[in-house]
Chains A and B, each alone.
Chain A
Amino acid sequence: MDEFSKETLVYERPNTLTDFTTHYCPGCTHGIAHRLTAEVLEEMNARERAVGVASVGCSVFAYNYFNFDFVQAPHGRAPAMATGVKRLLPDRIVFTYQGDGDLASIGMSEIVAAAARGENITVVFINNTNYGMTGGQMAPTTLPGQVTTSSPHGRDVETAGFPIRVSEMLSTLDGATYVVRRSLHDPKNIRMAKKALRIAFTVQERGLGFSMVELLSTCPTNWGMTPMESLHWVETKMIPYYPVGDYKVAPVVAEIKV
């Protein structure tokens, strides 16, 4: 005979998030990425030694939402600033939180140089195929044919070129230790993304070098879709172009068990 006696807590809001309501649009997966990062840092008991570097873009207000030290970098320069913070305070866990307009466009040289140096930082890279904050303009990651406010007839690859696959590109650099791509479009992939973030932060904690997690994300407002439609768009349109997978996993990472 069964008896219900008391209840167990399955999930609650982590202490590493502040009590602010975010400015993100309803259904934007930026919030999921924030939550996963906060949960991982709480699980690693790293709240008191974490330093985040916010980029420019929708993620610019990340310092209001994370309940630990944060600095704000100029547009695209978050990896350079994180390099400085990490070299001065090597015992801290330093990460950057960047979108694709920031990392893949204006900040491309900084991220490539930081990965090539094998800088001991973690990068959380949000790929939502446009510049969200400024109104949905075409970004380097915009898919061929995708309609944005600055490509109203769809991205024409003859004039605007092809999208950049950042994870694949950085995985060719010897300095990078852990470079993976994950998606945030369903519960299974969200769990996989959280595990990847945990490994990435552990790589940094053990001093093994540069780690980056690319997260395929949605932008319902600028894509002109409902939140559920945008999740479906990620699954059917983005993942074929940006396959989810591990692109660079150094042999030493295999010893990490999380």
Chain B
Amino acid sequence: MPANGRIEVNEKFCKACGLCVETCPQNVLGLSASRINAKGYHPVELIQAGCTGCGICAIVCPEAAIAVYREIVRVREPEF
């Protein structure tokens, strides 16, 4: 099962260039249709579940606007 992740977008920096939307391997990013930032761009957001926290959106982001978190999977000791 792939890891679970999430991103936090600092909307102040996002310029809606769409590089993260195009390169996201899971295709879970999209430009927000409802929100708008101070520069007049529609910031990027998670549009559906399935983010694995791989961090590729942060690697291609020219504005360093994305923070990426990934859940730690802890394997529990087997119970006998």
Q: Residues of A at under 8 Å CB distance from B? A: 1-14, 17, 21-22, 24-32, 34-35, 38, 186-187, 190-191, 226-228, 231
Contact = CB atoms under 8 A, between A and B. Distances in A.
B73 A4 contact: yes
Given A10-B5, A186-B23, A32 B60 contact: yes
A227 B17 contact: yes
A14 B64 contact: yes
A29 B59 CA distance: 11
Interface of A is mostly: mixed
A3 B1 CA distance: 12
B72 A187 contact: no
B19 to A, nearest CB: 6
B18 interface: yes
A13 B64 contact: yes
A8 B70 CA distance: 5
A27 B18 contact: yes
B7 to A, nearest CB: 9
A11 B69 CA distance: 7
Nearest to A5: B74
Interface string B33-51: 0000001010000000000
Going nearest first, the 7 A-B pairs with the smallest beta carbon separation are A31-B62, A27-B17, A26-B15, A26-B17, A10-B68, A11-B58, A12-B67
A167 B54 CA distance: 33
A22 B70 contact: no
A9 B15 contact: no
B53 A10 contact: yes
Nearest to B12: A21
A187 B41 contact: no
B67 A13 contact: yes
Contact of A187 (B23, B39, B53, B75): B23
Interface string B1-13: 1001110001011
A35 B56 contact: no
A29 B62 contact: yes
A37 B30 CA distance: 28
Contact of B62 (A2, A7, A32): A32
A216 to B, nearest CB: 14
Contacts of A28: 62
A69 B10 CA distance: 25
A11 B68 contact: yes
Given A11-B67, A17-B64, A27-B15, 19 more contacts: A2-B1, A2-B74, A5-B72, A7-B53, A8-B70, A9-B68, A10-B55, A10-B68, A12-B67, A21-B12, A21-B39, A21-B63, A32-B60, A34-B64, A35-B64, A186-B60, A190-B59, A190-B60, A228-B19
Contacts of A8: 69-72
Contacts of A4: 4, 71-74
